[in-house]
């Protein structure tokens, strides 16, 4: 094997790790951020990183489907969905800080523990796979778990929607690490996410219209009153 080929293999490995690591770090930023508009902007950046990862894997694997997946991700997740969420923010005039169920520092500690859990769960279970695939899967699972934690620790319906969308980013990140991902998978997931974003937007409007707030504790009070 030539030195040039070895060098390209190392470069593809390093760039893939860099992009996956950036997506993971942005998940921590989402967990740390307490401004609604900041959460949406961070999600858009994470989606952009995900699109870059798809483009890079398309080039490394010489797979046109991955280029198409990158375009779908860029258009739907990095552009269309953030625009939709920003319009909701402007329409409802919600620019205040987000209330959390636990403090930011405990959330970050829990996030770190979830990353450790993801590594301990994935690496032993994928001993027969390539090292790049194993590490990609560990980081992708970490993104999924951090998105779930973002949903759990936020009382605002809009930021919970972003947490859900971040979970989906982690799932796509895992799919990008698998060679030969069918194009139909990415396309169907992108359509599903767009529909989910629209549903979340309508849900947010209804909550605000009914309770004059996006704090989901209002829903808890209503359900408690009817028991």
Tell me, what's the pLDDT at 111? Answer: 94
212: alpha, beta or left? (left if phi > 0; alpha if psi -120 to 50) = left
What is the model's pTM? 0.78
Percent pLDDT > 90 in the chain is: 22
Q: Is the dihedral of CA 80, 81, 83, 87 positive or negative?
A: positive
What pLDDT digit, counting tens, does each position of 50-75 carry? 999 989 888 887 878 788 888 888 98
pLDDT exceeds cutoff 90 at 196: no
The packing angle between helices 217-225 and 183-211, to 10°, is 70
What pLDDT digit, counting tens, does each position of 89-125 carry? 887 776 666 777 888 899 999 999 999 999 898 877 7
1 compared with 130, residue with greater pLDDT: 130
Q: How far apart are CA 194 and CA 46, in angstroms?
A: 16
> Would you tell me how many other CB atoms lie within 10 Å of the CB of residue 145?
21
Tell me, what's the pLDDT at 180? Answer: 53
132 compared with 225, residue with greater pLDDT: 132
What pLDDT digit, counting tens, does each position of 140-187 carry? 899 999 999 998 888 777 788 888 888 888 888 887 766 555 554 555
Tell me, what's the pLDDT at 44? Answer: 95
Q: pLDDT-based confidence at 204, cuts 50/70/90?
A: low
Average pLDDT over the chain reads 77
What pLDDT digit, counting tens, does each position of 21-56 carry? 999 999 999 999 888 889 999 999 999 999 999 898
Tell me, what's the pLDDT at 23? Answer: 93
């Amino acid at each position: 094997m030539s030195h040039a080929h070895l060098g390209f293999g190392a470069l593809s490995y390093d760039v893939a790790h860099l992009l996956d690591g950036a997506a993971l770090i942005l998940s921590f930023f989402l967990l740390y951020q307490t401004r609604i508009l900041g959460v949406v902007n961070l999600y858009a950046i994470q989606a952009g990183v995900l699109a870059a990862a798809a483009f890079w894997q398309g080039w490394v694997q010489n797979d046109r489907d991955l280029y198409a997946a990158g375009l779908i991700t860029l258009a739907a997740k990095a552009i269309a969905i953030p625009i939709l969420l920003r319009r909701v923010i402007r329409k409802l005039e919600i620019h205040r800080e987000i209330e959390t169920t636990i403090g930011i520092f405990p959330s970050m500690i829990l996030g770190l523990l979830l990353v450790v859990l993801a590594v301990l769960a994935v690496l032993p279970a994928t001993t027969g796979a390539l090292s790049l695939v194993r590490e990609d899967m560990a980081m992708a699972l970490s993104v999924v778990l951090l998105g779930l934690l973002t949903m759990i620790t936020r009382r605002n319906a809009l930021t919970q929607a972003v947490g859900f969308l971040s979970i989906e980013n982690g799932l796509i990140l895992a799919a990008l690490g698998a060679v030969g991902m069918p194009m139909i998978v990415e396309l169907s997931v992108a359509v599903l996410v767009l529909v989910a974003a629209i549903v979340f937007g309508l849900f947010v409007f209804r909550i605000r219209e009914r309770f004059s707030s996006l704090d989901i504790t209002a829903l808890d009070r209503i359900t408690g009153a009817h028991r």
